[in-house]
């Protein structure tokens, strides 16, 4: 008999807890070319996705496919080095399975990072953008299908997908270290082809400031589980029609690598601060 999503999540959590006694407070998803941002985690236990039961494999360059459990100062962190994308051929349930696992491990706040294409003409490659809201243009919702109330409600509210108070805290930390954080709307498309100039013009008319192929399904599932979300995009390139030359994945990775140190500095200061913010969201661990 096929195991339910709930059963598979529980099985995966049991495997992880058998290898690490840490109970992570903060979850972190590291996007294209950003996997080295968590090099400062202490007492880290590393688990390859391939060895974790039920975990899908990361197949894209720039996504190592590793779960790290460790400490940043006194804050326990679960970091996903690399994510799973819909365009890789996975279902939305598979794409968001790692987020379900983080929630079941006890994560209450989740930081989602990605490398994105800039649409707002004010941005430049290397800009950092806090996600204030999103446009889901992927053609599918990760909550489609039967709902398991042990994870969350049938119709979750998405008024504040990206926590205003966590964004305010991120801006405060950024000011302290002299870092400029833009804010804007992230448009998620299915990929894997980059957008056409006409599509980019459409996205700009719709109010998008950046575009990418991830993050939104994870944010929706996190909110379904009552996890508070902070989203952060690295503007790795300007989108088609704005950029002056054809887009290449290698250039996206190179651009992300150039801003890793700034992002690391921000997260090193921000993540311990997040853990000190009183959590007011609903229980994130699935109920027995």
Catalytic residue among 20, 32, 163, 233: 32
Task: Let me know if 115 is a catalytic residue.
Answer: yes
Q: Does residue 278 have an active-site annotation?
A: no
Cβ neighbour number for residue 61 with a 10 Å cutoff: 13
Query: 237 catalytic, yes or no?
Result: yes
Residues forming beta bridges with residue 182, ordered by sequence position = 129
The tokens of 46 are what? 């590393």
Radius of gyration over alpha carbons of the chain, in Å? 18
DSSP per-residue string spanning 86-97: GGGT--HHHHTH
Exposed, middle or buried by CB within 10 Å (0-12, 13-18, 19+), for 198? exposed
Among residues 49, 54, 79, 85, the one annotated as catalytic is 85
State how far the Cα of 127 lies from the Cα of 259, in Å rounded to an integer: 8
Catalytic choice (78, 79, 88, 170): 88
Of 115, 219, 239, 257, which one is the catalytic site residue?
115
- Active-site residue identified among 22, 129, 213, 255: 213
Active site residue 283: no
Alpha helices of the chain — where are they, by DSSP H? 5-19, 92-95, 97-105, 164-176, 197-206, 216-224, 249-258, 260-275
| Identified catalytic residue from 48, 87, 94, 202 | 87
* Residue 176 CB coordination number (10 Å): 12
Q: Per the residue annotation, which of 54, 63, 114, 222 is the catalytic one?
A: 63
Query: Considering 6, 90, 249, 273, which one is annotated as catalytic?
Result: 249
DSSP for 210-252, written as a single string: EEESSSHHHHHHHHHTT-EEEEEEEEEEEPTTTSSS---HHHH
Alpha-carbon distance of 50 to 108, in angstroms, equals: 25
32-41: string of b/e by CB count within 10 Å (b at 16+)? bbbbebbeeb
Annotated catalytic residue 85: yes
User: Residues 237, 256, 257, 284: which is the catalytic one?
Assistant: 237
- 20 flagged as catalytic: no
- Residue 160: active-site member: no
Which one is catalytic: 54, 114, 136, 214? 214
CB-based contact 166:228 (threshold 8 Å): yes
87: annotated active-site residue: yes
Q: What whole-number distance in Å separates Cα of residue 227 and Cα of residue 13?
A: 17
- Residues catalogued as catalytic: 32, 63, 85, 87-88, 115, 213-214, 237, 249
């Amino acid at each position: 008999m096929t195991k339910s999503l709930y059963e598979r999540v529980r099985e995966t959590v049991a495997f992880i807890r058998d290898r690490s006694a840490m109970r992570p407070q903060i979850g972190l998803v590291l996007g294209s070319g950003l996997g080295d941002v968590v090099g400062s985690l202490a007492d880290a236990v590393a688990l390859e996705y391939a060895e974790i039961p039920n975990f899908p494999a990361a197949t894209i360059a720039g996504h190592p496919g590793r779960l790290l459990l460790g400490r940043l100062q006194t804050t326990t962190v679960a970091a996903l080095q690399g994510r799973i994308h819909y365009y890789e051929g996975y279902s939305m349930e598979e794409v968001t399975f790692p987020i379900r696992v983080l929630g079941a491990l006890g994560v209450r706040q989740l930081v989602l990072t990605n490398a994105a294409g800039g649409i707002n003409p004010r941005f430049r490659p290397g800009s950092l953008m806090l996600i204030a809201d999103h446009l889901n243009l992927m053609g599918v919702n990760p909550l489609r299908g039967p709902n398991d109330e042990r994870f969350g409600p049938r119709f979750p509210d998405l008024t504040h997908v990206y926590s205003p108070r966590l964004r305010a805290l991120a801006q405060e930390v950024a000011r302290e270290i002299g870092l400029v954080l833009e804010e804007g709307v992230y448009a998620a498309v299915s990929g894997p082809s980059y957008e056409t100039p006409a599509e980019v013009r459409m996205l700009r008319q719709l109010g998008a400031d950046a575009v990418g192929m991830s993050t939104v399904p994870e944010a929706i599932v996190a909110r379904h589980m009552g996890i508070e979300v902070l989203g952060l995009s690295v503007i790795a390139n300007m989108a088609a029609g704005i950029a002056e030359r054809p887009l290449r994945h290698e250039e996206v990775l190179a651009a992300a690598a150039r801003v890793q140190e700034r992002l690391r500095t921000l997260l090193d200061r921000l993540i311990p601060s997040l853990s000190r913010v009183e959590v007011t969201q609903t229980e994130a661990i699935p109920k027995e």
